[in-house]
A = this chain, B = another copy of it.
Amino acid sequence: METVQLPIPRSIWPLPARQTLAIEILDQRFLPHHTRVNRLETVLDCARAIRDMEVRGAPLIGITAAFGAAFAVQEAKRLEGSTHEWQTAMGHLIAQLRAARPTAVNLHWAIEQQLAYMATRQDDEKLALELFEHAIVLMDEDRETCRRIGTHGLGLMRQIAERKNGEPVNILTHCNAGSLAVVAWGTATAPIYLAHLEGLPIHVWVDETRPRNQGANLTAYELGLAGVPHTLIADNTGGHLMQQGLVDLCLVGCDRVTARGDVANKVGTYLKALSANDNGIPFYVCLPSSTIDWGIQDGLAEIPIETRSPQEVRYVRGMVNGQWQDVLICPPDTPALNIGFDVTPARLITGLITERGICQANKEGLRSLFGEMQDVDV
C-alpha cells in the first residue's frame, strides 16, 4: 500500500539544505488551471503564504509553519548581537507566524513542536538546520498520519460497500480536505483514495465551497487526477441529495477540534451535518490529532472564527480565455460578509477518524484514543 503513488502534485517540499534554507510550495491560488511553485525562505514568506492561502488546509498550514520556525532561527541568528537578542528577534518572528490565520490550531501545534524540539538541542550554530530537518520529520509523520486515517476510514467504506451490493458508495465532502491540504493522502480523501486503490466502487459529491471554491478548484482537480469518480455540486445541493438517498456517507476534514468533540471546519459544514443527521446518514470528521485543541471545550464559544475580505463574496475567481478573472456577481457597492468557518457541535458527528482509530465525538471517545492527554488540564 505504501509504495503506491497517487498521481497528484505535491503541496510542499524542502530544497536541499544550502547556505540559505528554503522550501517550495505549490501555489494553490492558481489551481486547477496553472501549476505555479513559490520558494519560501523567510518567516514573512511563510506567513504570507499562509495568510494569502498559497497554502491552506490545517495540516499543511502546520507543516509550513514548522519550516517557518526554522527560518525564524535562520533570520534571527543573522542579526548582530548577543544570544539574548537573537532569541528575542526569533520570538517576534514566531509571533508573526502565529498571527497569519486564526482558526487552524495546527499552526500553533507545529510551532510548539519546534519550540519543544529546540529546547532539547545544544548547539546554537546548527539550530536552524536542525529545526529544518525536524520539520521534514513532521512532514513525513503527517504523510503517515493521513495514511493511517485512510486505513481506519477504509473499514467504514468497506462496510457500506457490502450493503450496497456493487452499487457505488456515495460520499459527500465539503471544501478540500485532500492531498493538497496536507503532505499526502489528505484527511477526508485518505479513505476515498484507499478505497479507490482497492477497487471499491465509489463516487464523491464535491461541494464547490464558496466563497473560495476550494471544492471546485482543488478537490475536483485532485479527484480527477487520481481517477476517482466525482460530481461537482453547488453548496446548496447536498440536502436534496441526502433526502433522495443519494449520499451514503459524509467525510470532511477540520481546522480545530475541542476536547469534547466540537469541530470547526470550512463554513457550511454545519449545514451538511444537520442534513446528514436529519436523514440518518453517517457524518464523520477526519483529523490528525494535531488538530485537537485539548485546552478548550465549547467550540461555539471558544474557537476563533476567521473573517476574510468581503471581496471574496462579491467576486468569483475563474478562468476565461486562458486568463484568470474576478467577476463581480452583485452591485459593486453591496455590503458583504465573509465568514471562513463554522462550528459543528459534537452531537451531530457520528465519529472522529484519527490516526489512532475511530472514536465518538466526545471527551470519553477522544480520551479512549489519546489517554496520555488525561494529564492535560481540560
Residues of A within 8 A of B (CB): 32-33, 208-211, 213, 216-217, 220-221, 224, 229-241, 243-244, 266-268, 270-272, 274-275, 278, 300, 305, 310, 313-320, 325-331, 333-339, 341-343
State in angstroms the CA–CA spacing of A194 and B270 once bound together: 33
Total identical chains:
2
Contacts A232-B336, A234-B235, A243-B270 aside, 11 further interface pairs with beta carbons under 8 A come to A208-B313, A217-B329, A230-B334, A231-B337, A233-B339, A235-B268, A243-B342, A316-B329, A317-B327, A318-B327, A319-B327
B208 touches A208 (CB 8 A): no
Least CB distance, A310 to chain B, in whole angstroms? 8
A325 touches B314 (CB 8 A): no
Task: List the B side residues contacting A231 at CB < 8 Å.
Answer: 335-337
Interface of A is mostly: mixed
**Closest Cβ neighbor of A347 among chain B residues:** B278
Task: List the B side residues contacting A239 at CB < 8 Å.
Answer: 267-268, 270-271, 274, 342
B235 touches A338 (CB 8 A): no
State in angstroms the CA–CA spacing of A209 and B241 once bound together: 17
9 residue pairs A–B, Cβ–Cβ below 8 Å: A209-B236, A216-B329, A224-B333, A231-B337, A233-B337, A237-B339, A318-B328, A318-B329, A325-B327
State in angstroms the CA–CA spacing of A32 and B237 once bound together: 25
